[in-house]
């Protein structure tokens, strides 16, 4: 099974602050949808809360210690192992955050779909884990410049493990 991380990170690996994203990048949102639609997505409770509702055309699985914290339309998994069991018949699952959930799956991930946003966010409170990219092969890269819809430049990259 392919276990992918789909994330957008700043130069200092920031993901968010106060349960919100740090930027508005419409083309990255479109990319995120393309990478996750029709796949199960696994997230933590805080990511679920930031979304507000399940992502359409995806199986939305939330890892949380307590079932009553999981909103309607999301499926509850009490652990990583339970979440993986729930998606065992899927060819690919996308882990979409937040920081603690990415750390939880660090030993399992074999595909990275990362948007590197060209900004340093000092005041962030949620961070993507450190990845040794020497153990990964970059298989895709596209650059997006600043424009009227995108305050920051960004690079979308895909890495496969151990190639």
- Among candidate residues 33, 11, 13, the one with its CA nearest the CA of residue 96: 33
Give CA angle at 96 (91, 100), nearest 5°.
120
Question: Per residue in 95-117, pLDDT tens?
Answer: 999 999 999 999 999 999 999 99
Sheet holding 2-9, edge to edge: 75-77, 59-63, 40-44, 92-95, 2-9, 111-117, 154-161, 136-144
pTM of the model: 0.95
What's 29's DSSP letter? H
Q: What is the pLDDT of residues 111-163, one digit of tens each?
A: 999 999 999 999 999 999 999 999 999 999 999 999 999 999 999 999 999 76
Whole-angstrom distance, CA of residue 2 vs CA of residue 84: 11
Instruction: Determine the 3-state secondary structure of 32 from DSSP.
Output: helix
Taking a C-beta distance cutoff of 8 angstroms, is the pair 21, 121 a contact? no
Q: In this predicted structure, what is the pLDDT of residue 163? A: 63
pLDDT band at 38 (very low <50, low <70, confident <90, very high): very high
Which domains, from first to last, does the chain contain? 2-161 (3.40.430.10)
């Amino acid at each position: 099974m392919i276990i992918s991380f789909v994330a957008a990170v700043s130069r200092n690996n920031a993901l968010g602050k106060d349960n919100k994203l740090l930027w508005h990048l419409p083309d990255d949102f479109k990319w995120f949808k393309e990478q996750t639609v029709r796949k199960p997505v696994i997230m933590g409770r805080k990511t679920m809360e930031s979304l507000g509702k399940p992502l359409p055309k995806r199986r939305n699985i939330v890892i949380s210690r307590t079932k009553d914290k999981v909103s309607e339309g999301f499926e509850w998994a009490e652990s990583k192992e339970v979440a993986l069991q729930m998606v065992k018949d899927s060819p690919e699952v996308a882990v979409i955050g937040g920081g603690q959930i990415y750390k939880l799956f660090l030993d399992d991930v074999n595909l990275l779909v990362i948007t590197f946003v060209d900004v340093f966010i000092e005041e962030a409170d949620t961070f993507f884990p450190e990845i040794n990219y020497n153990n990964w092969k970059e298989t895709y890269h596209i650059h997006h410049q600043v424009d009227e819809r995108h305050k920051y430049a960004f690079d979308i990259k895909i890495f496969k493990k151990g190639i």
